[in-house]
Chain A
Amino acid sequence: MLEVTQLHLWRGDRHLLKGLGFSLEPGQLLQLLWPNGTGKTSLLRCLAGFTHAEEGEIRWQGRPVREDRDEFHWQLAYLGHENSLKDDLSAPENLRFACALRTHLKEAQLRARLDMVGLGSIDPHLPVRNFSAGQKRRVALARLSLWNARLWLLDEPATNLDAAGQAVLASLLQEHLAAGGMAVVATHRPIDLPGAHSRYWHLPGDTLQ
């Protein structure tokens, strides 16, 4: 459903992505295990549409992404290095405002999701500024899992997560893949998802099967 062909990307003088290609089907997880500085973030941001690839094509559901960017973005959930949370808002408020652009959700669903990521016992009025880095990451993960997006692009989602947090990440990914979603995840260490169809990409120069 996601097809990338012959992607070339330059940043200034540096030829970062040299003719990359891969495809991803529903239920599949692509783990980018490239070394630092080889373009993991650049690839994810290019897929998300922030940067323009000089050559190559990205197709979603058979159609080039550039034909209907808004539709593609609506089916996409991106998590970068920043959590994209407002420090002055509480966790439920952050979720509510973020979801208001995407979908119609009830308050109860937001609360349930916060429970699921292990933040249910926190005062619902506490501003996110007071959360630890790991807790903030969990809120961000909760947010994107509420969107019903078919494609997840996650840039080092396990940053700042303790063992419990990583278990939460794994279960969210499981749930997403089982529902027919797909994900491209840049990560330092492989994420262990028993039963899921994981493909591992160790170096940008490798070709994927």
Chain B
Amino acid sequence: MSSRPSALAAAVAVLERDLVLAARRPGEWLQPLGFFVLVTVLFPLALDPEPTRLRELAPAALWVSLLLASLLALEFLFREDARDGTLEQFALSGQSFTALLLAKTATHWILTGLPMVVAGPFAVLALGAPATAIPGVLLAVLLGSVTLSLIGAIGAGLTLGTRRGGALLSLLVLPLVMPVLVFGARATARAIAGDEMAEAILLLGSLGVLSLTLAPLAAAAAVRISME
């Protein structure tokens, strides 16, 4: 009998598999990004495009769009694998289920969250922010979107197999991620104004670390329950 692959090797295999699958359906993975850009564009259209007003609006527009687009993306984090039975096999593989799901969440973030992180600075520039704001905005959106994926995975797990899927997912996840919005928007506002943003970034970072430690366990528990 051959030996069991290490947890890391198994996680890498899941990552590779998901990337290969994504490469075969590139359109799906670009939808959240498209939604993000679209919603960000809608904000100035809903207001008058007076420069100082837009610049004040930029953090709110950026983060609300990021939140909504992430929710859209989260709907298909586990859905396909749950439907075709692959997720069940992960649970029975003898590998740490938490680690495998974390690998899936990481890949999902690379495909959906990372493009939005890259697009973030462009969005705030379009809303009148100075170029000096870019590093700060990048950092804030990076930390925020990782946390969103981690916490959102819990909601995705809980709503697997329920009829109302998408709307229920939003109802569950949005209250949980409100702190990310508060700290992230504040960090972005400070970056744009050129003020000291260390406090907000640290708070975002601590949320991120807390989520990384606890959220995967809750997500794994949620997915297991959906398979009962």
Direct contact of A and B (CB under 8 A): yes
Q: Which chain B positions have C-beta within 8 A of A98?
A: 89
Q: Mark B74-92, 1 if CB is under 8 A from A, else 0.
A: 0000000000111011111
User: How many angstroms from the CA of A85 to the CA of B81 in the assembled complex?
Assistant: 9
Q: Contacting B2 at CB < 8 Å: which of A50, A72, A82, A104?
A: A104
Contacting A at CB under 8 A, from B179-228, are 227-228
Give the residues in chain A near B21, CB-CB below 8 Å.
86, 88-89
Name the residue of chain B whose CB is nearest to the CB of A84.
Answer: B85
Q: Are B20 and A104 in contact (CB under 8 A)?
A: no
Judge whether B3 is part of the interface by a CB distance below 8 angstroms: yes
Chain A 73-116 near chain B by CB (<8 Å), digits 1 or 0: 11110101111111111000100011011111100000000000
Task: Check B96–A84 contact: CB distance below 8 A.
Answer: no
Contacts of A81 in B (CB 8 A): 85
A52 to B96 CA separation, bound complex (whole angstroms): 19
- The CA-CA distance from A82 to B1 in the complex, in Å, is 27
Chain B hits for A84, CB < 8 A: 84-86, 88-89
B178 at the interface (CB under 8 A from A): no
- Least CB distance from A32 to B in Å reads 19
Shortest CB distance B12–A (Å): 8
**Residues of chain A contacted by B93 (CB below 8 angstroms):** 73-74, 101-102
Chain A residue, CB-CB nearest to B12: A100
> Mask for B1-27, Cβ within 8 A of A = 1, else 0?
111110001100110110011001100
Residue of A nearest to B80 (CB): A86
Question: Is A206 an interface residue when CB atoms closer than 8 A count as contact?
Answer: no
In the complex formed, the residue of B with least CB distance to A76 is: B92
Do B88 and A80 have beta carbons less than 8 Å apart? yes
Shortest distance between the CB of A85 and any CB in chain B (Å): 7
Check B3 against A89 for contact (C-beta < 8 Å).
no
Does the CB pair A48–B1 fall under 8 Å? no
A184 to chain B minimum Cβ distance, whole angstroms, is 14
Tell me if A123 counts as interface (CB < 8 A to partner B).
no
Interface residues on B, range: 20 to 34
How many Å lie between the Cα of A96 and that of B96 in the bound state? 19
Smallest beta-carbon distance A47→chain B, Å: 11
A90 to chain B, nearest CB (A): 10
A50 / chain B contacts, CB cutoff of 8 Å: 88, 91, 227-228
Contact present for B13 and A101 (CB under 8 Å): yes
User: Chain A CB within 10 Å — which of B20, B92, B227 has the most?
Assistant: B92
A76 to B95, CA, bound (A): 12
The answer to whether B135 has its CB under 8 Å from any CB of chain A is no
A49 in contact (CB, < 8 A): yes
Give chain A's interface residues, CB within 8 Å of chain B.
Answer: 48-52, 70-76, 78, 80-89, 93, 97-98, 100-105, 127, 148
A/B interface sample: 24 pairs, CB < 8 A: A50-B91, A52-B228, A71-B94, A73-B93, A73-B94, A74-B93, A75-B94, A78-B89, A80-B88, A82-B84, A82-B88, A84-B84, A86-B84, A87-B84, A88-B21, A88-B24, A89-B20, A98-B89, A100-B5, A100-B10, A101-B90, A103-B2, A104-B3, A104-B5
Q: Which B residues contact A (CB, under 8 angstroms)?
A: 1-5, 9-10, 13-14, 16-17, 20-21, 24-25, 84-86, 88-96, 100, 227-228
